[in-house]
Amino acid sequence: MRYLTDTERGLDPKRVNDAVEAAFADHGRGLVQMPPKTYIILPAGDFRTMPAYLPSQNIAGVKIVNVHPQNPGRGLPTVMALTVILDIATGKPEAVINATPLTDMRTGAAGAIAAKYLSPKKEIVLGLIGTGRQALAQVEATRHTLAVGEVRVWSRNPVHAEKFCAGIHSLDCRSASLEHACDCDVLVTTTPSTRPIIMDAWISEGTHINAIGADAPGKEELDPAILERSSVFVDDPAQAVHSGEINVPIARGIYSEASLAGTLGEVVIGKKGRKHPDEITIFDSTGLAIQDLAIAKIALQQGTAIVLPFP
């Protein structure tokens, strides 16, 4: 068994996008095993356990990932992750991977793939709500699937938006008001908000929205009125109903699972998709264990390895 760290160094974002896209295609075809992730609530956060098996990529394992919003005050990331990979033939643990940076990348890849299939434009103005690590991962992945002409970034603190843009290379990136950031082709929301911060009036026809932030019960970023006039695609219906952008509107009885337009997997295999250039589309991302396996498959060949005695 090996412990692997720094596997993200030099990882090709395009290769990650392709691997995650292939995993979504398998998901769309019903070729994966993936029980919904389970949540354990700790005093100051939670952790999620995400097992899966992706036969076509010959990889199986479990990601374990926490969310502790007060961690930065202790000098630790909010989100930290380990992925345990098992040998398919024998079930023997093959590798334990430091998956914290990989988690950012694989979530970025899902957004990039959703935007590639669901944005009606291929040259886009990208609107970003939130400036954390996930915002950066979304930009870095999406610039490999679409031509990003301009980035409009909103943060509660404009200094954060300016600092964020300073870290983005070779893109026209600027701090913007909420309303101006929403005036875009692809809008990406990555905040931990528990009430809508994106108002219906700000969203124009033809916009594609990647709703990334809501990934636990009670989290919500979009005015539910946007959902009503949109085609909403999810990564996994069971997870989205429990913890995605749609979880609060469903719990409040103002949105229904039956209204969903489909899954990203179905979009990737061409079974579902955008029907009209003026349609508003939403990708509600909760994060799938198969994304973690797809990136782990690449990461296994990278990074620093420490050999561990087992069994």
Q: What residues between 22 and 41 interact with a copy of itself by CB under 8 A? A: 33, 35, 38, 40-41
Quick one: which of 88, 93, 52 has its CA closest to 290?
A: 52
CB of 100 to a copy of itself, least distance (A): 5
Sign of CA dihedral 263, 267, 273, 277: positive
Structure tokens at 130: 């939130």
**Bridge partners of 128?**
153, 188
Q: Which residues contact 235 (CB under 8 A, 6 or more apart)?
A: 24, 27, 110, 244, 263, 264, 265, 283, 284, 285, 286, 287, 288
> Of 43-102, which residues contact a copy of itself (CB under 8 A)?
43-47, 49, 51-53, 60, 62, 64, 66-68, 71, 74, 76-77, 80, 82, 84, 86, 88-93, 96, 98, 100
| CB nearer to a copy of itself: pick between 38 and 204 | 38
- Do residues 189 and 222 touch, judged by C-beta distance below 8 A? yes
d(CA 84, CA 98): 9
Contact pattern from residue 275 through residue 304 relative to a copy of itself, giving x for each residue in contact according to CB under 8 A and a dash for the rest: -----------------------------x
Instruction: Note if 63 is an active site residue.
Output: yes
Single out the residue of 144, 167, 137 nearest to residue 291, CA to CA: 137
96-155 residues near a copy of itself, rule: CB under 8 A: 96, 98, 100
CB 103 within 8 A of CB 288: no
Least Å from the CB of residue 64 to a copy of itself: 5
Rule CB under 8 A: say whether 254 interacts with a copy of itself.
no
CA-CA distance, 6 to 97, in Å (whole number)?
Answer: 9
Nearer to a copy of itself (CB atom), residue 17 or residue 239: 239
Q: Compute how many residues bind a copy of itself; rule: CB under 8 A.
A: 46
Residue 202 Cβ, how far from a copy of itself at the closest point, in Å? Answer: 34
| Nearer Cβ to a copy of itself (64/135) | 64
C-alpha span between 62 and 34 (Å, rounded): 10
Query: In whole angstroms, what separates CA 304 from the centre of its chain?
Result: 26
Choose the catalytic residue: 63, 116, 219, 297: 63
- 41 or 159, CB closer to a copy of itself? 41
Token code pair at residue 269: 């295999």
Instruction: Give least dist CB 296 to a copy of itself, A.
Output: 14
Smallest CA-to-CA distance from 142 within 300, 285, 297 is with 285
**Site residues (CB under 8 A) for a copy of itself?**
3, 5, 33, 35, 38, 40-47, 49, 51-53, 60, 62, 64, 66-68, 71, 74, 76-77, 80, 82, 84, 86, 88-93, 96, 98, 100, 304, 306, 308-311
Which residues does the annotation mark as catalytic?
63
